[in-house]
A and B are shown apart, each in its own frame.
Chain A
Amino acid sequence: MLFYTPNRMTRPIRLSEKTRQFAYDSLNHKYGIETREHNAVSLDEIDIEIYQKMSPLMRYDTAIFQIVSKAPLRICDGERISGAATLGLAIDHRVPATYGGVKIFSSVSHLTVDFETVVKKGINHIRKEAEISLEKHRGTEKEDFLKSCLHCLNCFDIWHKRYLDALADRPEYRANYENLKRVPMEPAASFYEAVQSIWFTFAFLRLCGNWPGIGRIDCLLGEYLKNDLQKGIVTLDEAREILAHFFIKGCEWVAGGDYVSGDAQHYQNILLGGIDENGCDVTNEVTYLVLDILEELGISDFPTSVRLNQNTDEKLLRRVAEVMRYGGGMLAVYNEDKVIEALQKDGYELSEARRFANDGCWEVQVPGKTFFMYLPFDSLHILQKNTLNGYEAGVDYPTFESLYQRYIADLKRAVEALVQVRVEKCNTRNEKGEWVWESLTPCTVISLFERGCIEKGCSYFEGGPIYNIISPHIGGLADTVNSLYAIKKLVFEEQRLTLPEFMRVLKNDWEGEEPLRQYVLTHYSYYGNDNEEVDRLAARLLDDFADICAELNGKCGYRFPAGVSTFGRQLEWIPQRASSPHGRKKGEILAGNSSPTPGTDREGATAIIRSYCNADLSRLTTGAALDLKLLPSAVEGEDGLSALMALMRGFVILGGFFMQLDVADVSVLRDAQEHPEDYQTLSVRVSGWNARFVTLSREWQNMIIEQTER
């Protein structure tokens, strides 16, 4: 049983052989393939005329009922906690129900739900709240939704009972049965119950097609473990086993095969460490157990991030570095000082800001209270197509400043248009011309776990949650900045050619202009090299972008905080992009997230971090991610640990936001392309998630290699 490491470091063994085997099977697709075999339940029993008369919410309720009644149950060999999301369509982000062979509903992701209420108060508490709210809203248009809430809670019960019955039949699962008897319906009383409570609820949400994040698992479980350890109910080793099963079962959708962006992207993010709403450090034994498990099993399917701050304990930092250097992109870090500052600037109360988690990728949000959606766009395309008019003849600006101002105006128009389209999809104007929420796709199951929905009687999509966020995300940042910078230097400062002449060169994709292209590539120091001049330009652009977003607030029920991301979109954007002023030809893979353009960073990791931190990242409320790839040789031995710790420390001191440090070796990745069979468990950090490298499409694999090479 080999759990892959890029540097051939041997992973420590702490878990039992049985648990390790379970992990190995799960990572090698055993359960994923099984899940794929039962794709969905069918509503075909319903007569077509009746079906056509049913409202979307009625259809949804019926689908959920069929799912909980008919989904196969799965009890894995030796599992310590039970419950499984066994319908294949859910892996495709769908409610796994069909009518006449057609998929009925899409599902919800990009959020972390309220597991705190589940563990500490139980599902029955949520039921009580729903009953109270239903009484309150009787006779209003909210009634249907609240009835649907109670219906879905009943469905949850049905599914729970089916598992209890199945477990009761199997004496070897007595412990599982006893442990599942009370939770998640009642508050958890022990660590073991708490883990089962979160897992079972998570599995239910996933069974119904949703992809929620987990959030701050050490916060949720820490007190339970502490109490149980004190009372001697559980040992640390025992607790590690139990928790490991949570992680292993989370790989039940890993099915191998070909996926564009990998087969492990289900947004089930986890956050460790950091402070609580009162400012106290939450780091506890659970934090370290999670790190132990990730280190031993190399499970990357729960992209895990650690909240660091200026006072992060040396012990934790070191442990994070130790786990990080096995590669696989399992751990990323937030600088929570910056994140909390950003959320406060956007109007959140301090205690609320301190509770942040992420959305299932790395965009931050207050968990269990937030509707979240982001709107990605390519800023480079706007520069090329609008401001520089596709490099057509006639483009000219008297000064760099006039060009820049025009660009910002174009950017503003593009962002406004993007937001307008989105808002009109979920809102309509009433007689008075005000925006009102419109019913959209039913999503009752997820709404049960988002505070505000039940109280207000509105679903997740209808303004139910307390915070409703649509975050415009600027993509192509480094390339836009580098393009602007190259034009500034070449045309306006050095005056090597006029802007119309330069436009001709670009229109022809640098044809016959190799020396000029080489000059632009090698003589300028671009974003990522700690060059103040270009970094200032990046900071200015981000500030202007944040201003554009801030102006959108207050017009409807959403807020529009800014963020930076591409995730993997730099690939999708290739066809729409022309050649770039900073020496890039058409079709090249350009920068991801807040990272430098591949091949332009010559000063090393510390310079990249400085460039990234130079902008005021507190204005990018939902996040700006920096991806750094290090070679295995750079993280070897004690020196390598110090290096990783130093990078993290510097990142916090300089005011970074989110950083994904991955350890990868280009030659290994190349070999994996040729011999995928030898690298089934090799994972890499893509962006907010990890991917099993061999399940990525060739284009995505090449993009990762390109990022790693620089």
Chain B
Amino acid sequence: MELTVTDIQRFCMHDGPGVRTTVFLKGCGMRCQWCHNPETQKGKPELLFYAQKCILCGACAAVCPNRVHTVEDGNHMLLRDKCKNCGACASVCPTKALEISGTKYSSEELLSIVERDRPFFGNAGGVTLSGGEPFLQKDGAIELLRLCRLHGLNTAVETCGYFDPDVLNAAVPYTNLFLWDIKDTDSARHQKYTGVPNEPILNNLERANRLGARIRLRCILVNGVNTDDIHYRRVAELANRLSNCEGVELIPYHAYGGSKATFLGRPDNGKNEWIPTANQLGTAKQILFDQGVKVL
């Protein structure tokens, strides 16, 4: 089974318990305005261009069959519309200023890569599938989870919750922990900022819970978007209602992801005004705590 992967990061400390190897799968059904991994949104491979690494050697222009690159007068212009993401330019670029995001791996290959750090995992650590939305590549993702469990590796899935509900029957038995994003509990706002309503996500969540999945909720705090008390209360309610929820992680929005969009040729989508204040973070923690929710 093949999976399209944007990145594999080893020695991750914040993607579930212990030391983990995180596999980022490409493709997501949502379009959050604050997305900090924009290269994982589309399912297909995409060309990334890091302008600051370009030494203007012109090698890319010489090999591109579609004349995407023009390198002249100390400038490098890209006509991205014409790019077929074939990767020819990336393979000749001496500085890796060009890169194709989205490499195919078989599930066995991925297993052997994550196996490498087994000596560091201890009892708690293991593998985390992230993205993107891992379950958009459902067959591959489930196969990989199954293989990992078969080899005794702890598995976690970082999900936005927006996927085909049928996935869960197959996925839950092979997933030790779900790190489940709750972007917003207000459906209209959810629609506005992420492009989709939140009902399917919440339905999937309840269903996962019924199937016995262990769940950690992850709530991004975006100043001026979802930093209101009502939202925090609803999160607390949700956490308390789920029988298998071990707590909530609060993730303050940061603007680093913004510049990543420029590598895809899109404008920087980072907004400093979205960064929550320490006060807002404190209030959120307090409300959750008051409702008896464990903040992780």
Contacts and interface: CB of A to CB of B under 8 A. Distances in A.
Interface of A: 514-516, 518-519, 522-523, 530, 603-607, 609-610, 634, 639-640, 642-643, 645-647, 649-650, 653-654
Contact of B121 (A607, A639, A640, A646): A646
Contact of A603 (B10, B94, B121): B10
Contacts of B18: 642, 646
Given A606-B10, A640-B13, A650 B119 contact: yes
B291 to A, nearest CB: 23
Nearest to A519: B94
A649 B116 CA distance: 14
A519 B18 CA distance: 36
6 contacts: A522-B96, A606-B116, A646-B120, A646-B125, A650-B119, A654-B119
A516 B125 CA distance: 40
A522 B95 contact: yes
Interface in B99-141: 116-117, 119-122, 124-125
A640 B14 CA distance: 10
A379 B92 CA distance: 32
A31 to B, nearest CB: 42
B55 interface: yes
Given A642-B124, A645-B122, A607 B10 contact: yes
A653 B117 CA distance: 11
B59 interface: yes
A314 to B, nearest CB: 10
CB-based closest 8 A-B pairs: A650-B120, A518-B94, A653-B119, A519-B94, A650-B119, A646-B19, A515-B94, A518-B95
Nearest to A647: B120
Contacts of A515: 55, 57, 59, 94
A645 B11 CA distance: 12
Nearest to B21: A606
A649 B95 contact: no
Contacts of A654: 119
Given A518-B55, A519-B94, A642-B18, A610 B116 contact: yes
Contacts of A522: 94-96
A639 B10 contact: no
Contacts of A514: 55, 57, 94
Contacts of A642: 13, 18-19, 122, 124-125
A650 B115 CA distance: 13
A606 B94 contact: no
Contact of A605 (B11, B55, B57): B11
Contacts of A606: 10-11, 19, 116-117, 120
Contacts of A530: 116
A631 B65 CA distance: 44
B119 A604 contact: no
B11 A643 contact: yes
Interface in B13-57: 13-14, 18-19, 55, 57
A518 B59 CA distance: 13
Contacts of B95: 518, 522
Nearest to A604: B11
Contacts of B125: 642, 646
Contacts of A649: 119-120, 122
A650 B11 CA distance: 11
A387 B174 CA distance: 55
A514 B97 CA distance: 14
Given A634-B13, A642-B124, A646-B19, 18 more contacts: A514-B57, A514-B94, A515-B55, A523-B94, A603-B10, A604-B9, A605-B11, A606-B120, A607-B116, A609-B120, A642-B13, A642-B19, A646-B18, A646-B120, A646-B121, A646-B122, A649-B119, A650-B119
Residue with the highest number of chain A CB atoms closer than 10 Å, among B18, B19, B55:
B19
Interface string B204-218: 000000000000000
Given A647-B120, A649-B119, A516 B94 contact: yes
A604 B19 contact: no
Residue with the highest number of chain A CB atoms closer than 10 Å, among B55, B120, B122:
B120
Contacts of B55: 514-515, 518
Contacts of B96: 522-523
Contacts of B119: 649-650, 653-654
